[in-house]
Amino acid sequence: MNHYIDIRLRPDPEFPGAMLMRALYNKLHRALFDLNANDIGVSFPEYKLGVQARTLGEQLRLHGSRQRLEQLMESEWLTGMRDHVTLSNVQAVPEGATHVAVKRRQFNTGSESRAKRYAKRHDVSLEEARQLYAAPASRRIELPFVQVNSRSSQQRFCLFIDHGKPQNDPVQGTFNHYGLSRHATVPWF
């Protein structure tokens, strides 16, 4: 994780930033899946928490080795997005950068389909199951998310992203096809 590329969304009067970030992140997921990459991580330097303020921001940072990042960029995964983004060159991570784990968080959101499944599996009425799921449904999630389409399962879901606390020492490990890891860290600056 000694190099990075910044991808910044350009302002667009027709498309909100969240929509462009969703399209960009879905394209990245497809590229990482197709390359079977487990050595490229992501971070969102403009990431904000809070029910009202949560956002991934307008910038996506890719982390990896120079060679791997160049290989990703040669794959033309940005086709259709180039007019909407500004790219940096592959750059070395600044000296003294801290590190964070950027990972997926899953929440029980109390959806209607979960209540139906629960009712069927536990032989209770749908109304009982809805009452059980009412508390999780009322919880307000403060993490930003992006809606993605899984390349492997073809399912669409909300991917909640959590940037851990900055730490001084990097943690080595692998990343999934969303550029996230439970334990491995990426530089944070």
Residue whose C-alpha is closest to residue 28's, from 69, 67, 66: 69
The token pair at 95 is 């000296």
What is the rounded radius of gyration, in angstroms, for the C-alpha atoms of the chain? 18
Residue 148 carries which DSSP code? E
Residue 29 annotated to the active site: yes
Burial of 45 (0-12, 13-18, 19+ CB in 10 A): middle
Phi then psi for residue 30, to 5 deg, are -60, -40
Q: In sequence order, what DSSP letters do the residues of 26-72 get, joined into one string?
A: HHHHHHHHHHT-SS-EEE-TT-B-STTT-B--SEEEEEE-HHHHHHH
29, 63, 99, 177: which is the annotated catalytic residue? 29
Catalytic residues: 29
